[in-house]
A = this chain, B = another copy of it.
Amino acid sequence: MASLSPLAPKTQVVLAPLDGVRLASHACGLRYQGRTDLMIAELAAGTTVAGVFTKSLTASAPVLWCREALKGGGARLVVVNSGNANAFTGQAGVASVRRTVEVAAKQCGCKPEEVFIASTGTIGVPLDDSKITEAFGAAFGGLAVDKWSDAAKAILTTDTYPKTATRTARIGGVDVRINGFCKGAGMIAPDMATMLAFVFTDATLPAAVLQELLAKGTVKSFNSITVDSDTSTSDTLLAFATGKVSHAKVSGPKDPALRDFRKKFEDLLLDLALQVVRDGEGASKFVKITVTGAASARAAKTIGMAIANSPLVKTAVAGEDANWGRIVMAVGKSGEKADRDRLSIRIGGVEVAHNGQVVAGYDEAPVTAHMKGTDIVFEVDIGVGRGKATVWTCDLTHDYIDINGSYRT
């Protein structure tokens, strides 16, 4: 693992056991030496599942499998390996998934379509799944309720720290819990930015309700972050509800009883998503971009992402340069409605541009100080409507180039 990101959270959240989930990790030697690369989560009978996946048209074999398996609505196992993405491996990749799922289902005593699978790592190299299936005996033997930390570590690739989050929510007066962990690092972009994320709750939720909560919760979390605009072929976000806590039956996704749960669930998704940004490859600055006054919320998000993905904006942030002119450029290239002479920009709370012009004599000292910090805030008002959105990204640094110029070697 590379040296810890300077933006890493000060403390690592430790996940407590969650009823209905047992975890294990193992070192299969798929690519990495001296570390685990296989994670298994075993789920109680009756667990429901929801998923959101990459929109890539060259999606990996594991993603195609999960999309199909999701139709059953139930899950008993999650099998995840790091080191090899099993993506662009043709029919061999499809066969590899099939073999892995079948051996896992037999080991667990469940149906193949109750097994969810995800792979992350190098693209285009056939996955030697025998290394995984041969490790199942030992791995399943190690399943335990307190292995959350080990599980969160086993799925990492170029991440510099494990990403975990937990929340407690109330449904109909009863406490339920939510645990989640994920991995990110590079190839992080809109439309499933996360690469891999797994969220578990002991609440009792029909699969359709969980799916609705997950799809909505993704919009303002994982789909509002970007590291480098590149979209992985393997992005997978799965949520599981073990149903181990009994509470009043939930009638549907809009049931008022879900209000607190939805809030905590979305909060946890955002927490995980922002941890991904804070561990963006080579990141030295965390950047929050708020766009207001756009023609619509969708337009605001498009503009925010155009700013967040601009190499010129990102290198200016890395250089601690309050170069708001490049923000204007990015607004212009977004293709969304804008008026040069109504645009206003704040950096670190200080208005630097107003109605399309530099604010004469604005105080540069606090802006300069803000740019030297690690948490950068850009507020852009387009001045043409009421649409707003917030997106998050990191800067583009020499380390990003070092990490990605030598990934395979």
Mark A residues whose CB is within 8 Å of B: 54-59, 85, 87-92, 122-126, 186-187, 189, 228-233, 309-312, 315-316, 318-319, 321, 323-326, 328-338, 340-341, 343, 353, 355-358, 396-398, 400-401, 404-409
Contacts and interface: CB of A to CB of B under 8 A. Distances in A.
11 contacts: A56-B329, A57-B332, A58-B329, A87-B329, A89-B357, A91-B356, A91-B357, A124-B325, A126-B357, A230-B311, A319-B407
A316 B56 CA distance: 20
A56 B303 CA distance: 12
Given A340-B88, A356-B88, A332 B59 contact: yes
A387 to B, nearest CB: 15
B230 A329 contact: yes
A55 B332 CA distance: 8
A58 B315 contact: no
A312 B57 contact: no
Q: 3 tightest CB-CB pairs across the interface, nearest first? A: A319-B405, A123-B325, A58-B332
Given A56-B333, A88-B353, A228-B311, 13 more contacts: A57-B340, A87-B328, A87-B329, A88-B328, A123-B328, A124-B328, A125-B358, A187-B312, A231-B332, A315-B404, A319-B404, A397-B401, A398-B401
Contact of A123 (B319, B329, B409): B329
A58 B311 contact: no
Given A404-B319, A409-B321, A312 B123 contact: no
A181 to B, nearest CB: 24
A87 B57 contact: no
Contacts of A331: 57-58
Nearest to A340: B58
B321 A407 contact: yes
Given A56-B329, A186-B312, A358 B126 contact: yes
